[in-house]
Amino acid sequence: MTTSFPMNAGDDPYSYSKNSHLQREVLDGAKEMMKEVIIEHLDIKNMLSSSNKFCIIDLGCSIGPNTFNSMQHVVQVVKDKYHDNILEFQVFFNDHVNNDFNTLFRSLPIDRSYYPFGVPGSFHGRLLPSQSIHVAHCSSAIHWLSKTPKELLDEKSPSWNKGLIHYIGASNIEVMNAYVAQFEKDMEMFFNARAEEIVPGGMMVLISPQLSEHLLKFFGSSLMDLVNEGKLDEFLVNSFNVPVYFPSIEDMTKVVEKNDCFSIERIELTHPKSKLVDEADAKTLMINLRAVLEGLFINHFGSKIAKEAFTRTILKSDEISAWMKINYKKACQLFIALKRK
Amino acid sequence: MTTSFPMNAGDDPYSYSKNSHLQREVLDGAKEMMKEVIIEHLDIKNMLSSSNKFCIIDLGCSIGPNTFNSMQHVVQVVKDKYHDNILEFQVFFNDHVNNDFNTLFRSLPIDRSYYPFGVPGSFHGRLLPSQSIHVAHCSSAIHWLSKTPKELLDEKSPSWNKGLIHYIGASNIEVMNAYVAQFEKDMEMFFNARAEEIVPGGMMVLISPQLSEHLLKFFGSSLMDLVNEGKLDEFLVNSFNVPVYFPSIEDMTKVVEKNDCFSIERIELTHPKSKLVDEADAKTLMINLRAVLEGLFINHFGSKIAKEAFTRTILKSDEISAWMKINYKKACQLFIALKRK
């Protein structure tokens, strides 16, 4: 059973739509590379044959505004490349069925130059008929696992992650192994589905930020504070593991090669300009993380403990900023451009 | 500027999802005809050429469950006709951008045999690239005008509809003329868009119920009661006109012929079995109407007056039932099957 916890819905102060600056920086950092790979590697004449429909999907789009920005960018790059006014663009906005599609649709840009569609469902499974997509895009999303690895839920397992909420900071290597195994299973499903859906010659760009994962531990320590104060059962912390895995170049190369339907046109670790990270703006980063993680926390701990943990962590922003200044060098993200063989 | 007032969202007691029995009866009544026209008139071999994607759209789908029922029916009829397992079905669920797509997506049947998509936007305009659709379906929706005819909003116009909220029951012929003119303008846009979107040989089935329009007058009289009690300004009633027009066979023939891109394969006024109408179940019918009209009423009168008008009208159910037994004979609906030339 796949689990999913969407970004915070609507547009209130803790909503994702108001708290996605970090994801925006990620996208801005990737725009130029995105343009280059499309210009160098996309061969539209062979792909389209008799039809004029050009189909783009944003996998794990959430609710905007970032997705509108990237989709318009892809449309514009393709238009500029082909100096072609006869193409009709379809943009498929995909996310879990419990994503807030109402907010997404209601904030669609008026001046868009494409036909928009909502595609509800997990990108770990099939979403579209075969050979439907010319460019697939997935930013700040493949690091979400389809579920928490089940070994992490078993107190008797060697992967029991005592006192922590993620593999980062865990000295127990079995914890990391459980995350990696789940990631590989998920990516197998992901690539099998995309191999069917993307036309031969079509492209897929994956962008995976590695900016804020170290900050997860501060939420973990706020939870442990609550345990030490007797307000929370430690079992609940031990059995909670944020289901995100940040892949390395080697991880991604391995899953792409295993699938064998895509060629890697470009893969690199880049350092996007991130004002938030450079300035160690922990407060904004933590509020961003809250918008992303709140649903997940509430599901496990209930609303009261979740809110208490977020409030306490955000109050530690100065301390976190100080930590960031010493420990962080640069923001970084993985950029991968693939072509369907 | 197009206005739109979606059916009541969510799934509470006055939601459309819990109050769409009448629309369900309409669809059940049309299922057999739908099957016949697809079997007789759809020529899939010529339409699909090299692709296996079969695309169906439900125009003005609202939030289910009716739309799932009709879409699965169309898929099944096409499958049965072609004994073909290689077709991949795409179903496009269209409604206004402020429709509750979240509820729609979350209630998608698990065992569906198609890929679902949400298409936000008015069906009076373009929704899809050219030649994208093989079967278009529109039930209980084309009677919605894109807006209230502007003449009806002008106190000095000969179409000023004093004391009433619809053309039904109006002795002033100018009121009816204003509705007809708006309907013809809307249908011109509707058919221009569909002519582009539907492939040559593709079909469109329109189902327009004429069951409950006479019941609108009871809401009008509840509003006038409030005027007479000094609780509501009469101007607000006079300037309010429910933007629905129930076309005749002649109306539809005229708009189709003007457009000239579709041939009429079948057009008839039918009498679906309607338990609600046969049994003069005014209470259920009025609650159904409430789920459909509440957004529109609240927008014009505010929440307090709207709720008061609905409550009062539903309290008159016995009186309305008695009226129905004398004045209603049978439920009826317009069924139209068209083929793209």
pLDDT per position as a tens digit, A213-269: 778 889 999 999 999 999 999 999 999 999 999 999 999 999 999 999 999 999 999
A100 touches chain B (CB under 8 A): yes
A125 touches chain B (CB under 8 A): no
Nearest 5°: CA angle at B127, between B126 and B132?
105
User: Could you tell me the pTM of the whole model?
Assistant: 0.92
Rounded to whole angstroms, the Cα distance separating B172 from B162 reads: 9
Residue A16: HSE in the Cβ half-sphere, 13 Å Cα cutoff: 24
Q: Give the start-end residues of each E strand in chain B.
A: 53-59, 88-95, 115-120, 133-139, 198-209, 262-270, 333-340
Which of B245, B246, B265, B269 shows the shortest CA–CA distance to B256? B265
Of B108, B115, B118, the CB nearest to A128: B115
Instruction: Report chain B residues whose CB lies below 8 A from the CB of A130.
Output: 52, 88
Given a cut of 50, is residue A159 above it in pLDDT?
yes
Closest residue in B to A101 (Cα–Cα):
B102
Asked if B71 and B57 touch (Cβ cutoff 8 Å), the reply is no
- Tens digits of pLDDT across chain B (341 residues): 445 667 777 777 777 777 667 777 777 778 889 999 999 999 887 787 678 899 999 999 998 788 999 999 999 999 998 886 789 999 999 999 999 999 999 999 999 999 999 999 999 999 999 999 999 999 989 999 999 999 999 999 999 999 999 998 889 999 999 999 999 999 999 999 999 999 999 999 999 987 667 788 899 999 999 999 999 999 999 999 999 999 999 999 999 999 999 999 999 998 877 788 888 888 888 888 888 889 999 999 999 999 999 999 999 999 988 988 887 767 788 999 999 99
Q: Say if the Cβ atoms of B102 and A106 lie within 8 Å.
A: no
Rounded to whole angstroms, the Cα distance separating B149 from B158 reads: 13
- Of residues A3 and B167, more confidence is placed in B167
Instruction: Report chain A residues whose CB lies below 8 A from the CB of B92.
Output: 117
Q: Say if the Cβ atoms of A118 and B115 lie within 8 Å.
A: no
Mutating which of A101, A128, A130 best tests the B interface, going by the most B Cβ atoms within 10 A? A101
Rounded to whole angstroms, the Cα distance separating A141 from A276 reads: 20
Measured in angstroms, the CA of B128 and the nearest CA of chain A are apart by 6
Measured in angstroms, the CA of A9 and the nearest CA of chain B are apart by 11
Asked if A203 and A134 touch (Cβ cutoff 8 Å), the reply is yes
Mutating which of A115, A196, A197 best tests the B interface, going by the most B Cβ atoms within 10 A? A115
- Rounded to 10 deg, the angle between the B66-82 and B21-41 helix axes is 20
Instruction: Report chain B residues whose CB lies below 8 A from the CB of A90.
Output: 128-129
A106 touches chain B (CB under 8 A): yes
Instruction: Report chain B residues whose CB lies below 8 A from the CB of A117.
Output: 92, 117-119
Q: Say if the Cβ atoms of A92 and B117 lie within 8 Å.
A: yes
Nearest 5°: CA angle at B117, between B23 and B260?
70
Partners of B255 in beta bridges: none
- Any idea which residue has 């792909």 for tokens? A47
A119 touches chain B (CB under 8 A): yes
Q: Which residues contact A137 (CB under 8 A, 6 or more apart)?
A: A34, A56, A57, A58, A59, A70, A71, A74, A204, A205
Torsion of CA B266, B270, B272, B276, to 10 degrees: 140
Rounded to whole angstroms, the Cα distance separating A8 from A62 reads: 9
Of B100, B108, B126, the CB nearest to A102: B100
Q: How many other CB atoms are found less than 10 A from the CB of residue A327? A: 9
Q: Is B303 helix (H, G, I), strand (E, B) or coil?
A: helix
Instruction: Supply the DSSP symbol for A112.
Output: -
Give the model's pLDDT for residue A284: 87
Dihedral over Cα of A117, A120, A125, A129: its sign: negative
